[in-house]
Amino acid sequence: MDAQAGSNRSSMRSLELFEAFRQAGRPLSLSELARITGIPVSTCHGVMRALEEHGFLYFVGGRDAYPTRRLWDIADEIRSHDPIARALEPGLAALRDETDETVILGTRQDDSVLYLLVLEGRQSIRYSSRAGERKPLHSSSIGKVMLGEMTAEELDRWLAGRKLERVTDRTLVSARPLRGDLARSRERGYYVTRGENVADVMAVAAPLRMGSTVLGVAIAGPMHRMQSAQDRLGRQLRRCVQRLEERDGR
């Protein structure tokens, strides 16, 4: 187990360095990278040299390093062949343009929601996020979709084994109100969060069934703009999901 943990840790070193560059937004020295990531200097030096040898990193002015565009090019090529994103992005982009709010595609991964695609609205005040971010199941709109798709027995088991952490002062942190919220949402056809995951942000979400896979599609934006438009947004969301499911069925 110790050897496996060490191997897993080593495989994450390069990603931790890239995350440090993202946070800093500028070239970084060896000592800065070691401090930001918490990786020992000697280990950090070895990771930097390996990235440099493989064309992922170059040195600016001798001591400071910065990533090359190789990682971007690889990621862009991978993204272009993503079967789910490629199939769904045009329809979700149309929903984004129709509502002028941020549209998110997500899936369940263990006890969280993983964002697969984020199409931000064009308004200056909007909900912003990134593909790859994770959100709790009980406090996010797509997370509620995933919980709402469980059978009663599955939901009982899930709730019995977990503490519902408070994310904001509006988060539902006990089983009874969450069950009631999920039941009302199933009847309505879409799920809602009102400042439960991000303060002052509201989202509506619905399940999207692609064969045996259940995804979630959400529309998210500022509370003051979303609240009065909830019914309209819910209808637009359900129409979009229905079109995507019908297209997949063909």
pLDDT digits (tens, 9 = 90+) for 160-213: 978 999 999 999 999 999 999 999 999 999 999 999 999 999 999 999 998 888
pLDDT of residue 1: 44
Confidence of residue 2 (pLDDT cuts 50, 70, 90): very low
Q: What is the CATH number of domain 82-249?
A: 3.30.450.40
Let me know: does 233 contact 240? Beta carbons within 8 Å: no
**What is the tens place of the pLDDT at every residue in 228-249?**
999 999 999 999 999 999 886 6
Residue 97 confidence class, pLDDT cut points 50, 70, 90: very high
The reported pLDDT for the residue numbered 81 is 79
pTM above 0.85, yes or no: no
Q: Could you report the per-residue pLDDT of 9-67, keeping only the tens digit for each?
A: 667 899 999 999 999 999 999 999 999 999 999 999 999 999 999 999 999 877 899 99
pLDDT of residue 7: 46
Whose CA is closest to 123, among 96, 105, 91?
96
pLDDT at residue 178 in the model = 96
Q: Which of 115-119, 130-134, 150-154, 178-182 has the lowest mean pLDDT?
A: 130-134
Average pLDDT over residues 84-95: 91
Tell me what pLDDT residue 11 has. Answer: 72
| CB neighbour class for 182 (10 Å; exposed up to 12, middle 13-18, buried from 19) | buried
Six-digit token string for 142: 């797509």
Please tell us whether the domain made up of 2-73 is placed in CATH 3.40.980.10: no
In 3D space, the residue among 229, 183, 184, 220 whose CA is nearest the CA of residue 202 turns out to be 220
Quote the pLDDT of residue 249: 63
Amino acid sitting at position 2: D
The pLDDT, as a whole number, for residue 9 is 66
pLDDT of the residue at 10: 67
Distances (CA, A) of 126 to 175, 226, 230: 31, 11, 16
Question: Where in the chain are the domains?
Answer: 2-73, 82-249
CB 191 within 8 A of CB 141: yes
